[in-house]
Structure 1
Amino acid sequence: MRYAIVIEKARRNFSAYVPDLPGCVATGATVKETESNIREAIRFHIEGLREDGLPIPAPTSICEYVEP
């Protein structure tokens, strides 16, 4: 499965979240670190859902860049 992630610049670092996995978030000092951390957070989040016997949401979000 491939989940869309959103990475945002914060004041002193970067933060990321997964629209299809509410509550799955990560931060990092750089974009690269944030990407690595959100991958780990996704694995941990899905593992927790499985352990709790909860359904794993299918990835449905679509990302696209547009010019105004």
Structure 2
Amino acid sequence: MKYLIAIDPGTDDTAFGVVVPDLPGCFSAGDTVEEAIDNAHEAAKLWLETVIDDGGTVPSASPFSALQIKDDYKGWIWAVINVDLSDYPTKQSAY
């Protein structure tokens, strides 16, 4: 499953913060953009694994056009992560 991630550029004194908008509460950070993306991937895998283990539904990915217009992410960097869910039996949501 491919999910968009939003990366807060940070400053000289702060790390790059990153969120997975389609996975509520899923966030991470990194000292570089690359590290932030890698950490977001790990956070998303753990988030999804927890939802699946608890019998929940895996959220569908939103289209970029729906996320890029949100004020919360103005000026942020966008990237895509791919989380392989083939090892987990899942129920995917319809939204």
* TM-score, normalised relative to structure 2: 0.63
**1:40 offset after TM fit, Å?**
0.4
- Partners of 1:50 and 1:8 lie apart in 2 by 28
| Equivalent residues, number | 64
- Which has the bigger relative contact order, CA under 8 A and spacing at least 6? 2
Q: 2:37 aligns with which of 35, 38, 41?
A: 35
Which stretches in structure 2 are left out of the alignment for 5+ residues? 69-95
Q: Is the 8 A contact 1:20 1:61 kept in 2?
A: no
Please identify runs of 4+ aligned residues in structure 1 that moved more than 2 A.
none
Which stretches in structure 1 are left out of the alignment for 5+ residues? none
* TM-score, normalised relative to structure 1: 0.85
Which AA in structure 1 matches 2:61?
A: P
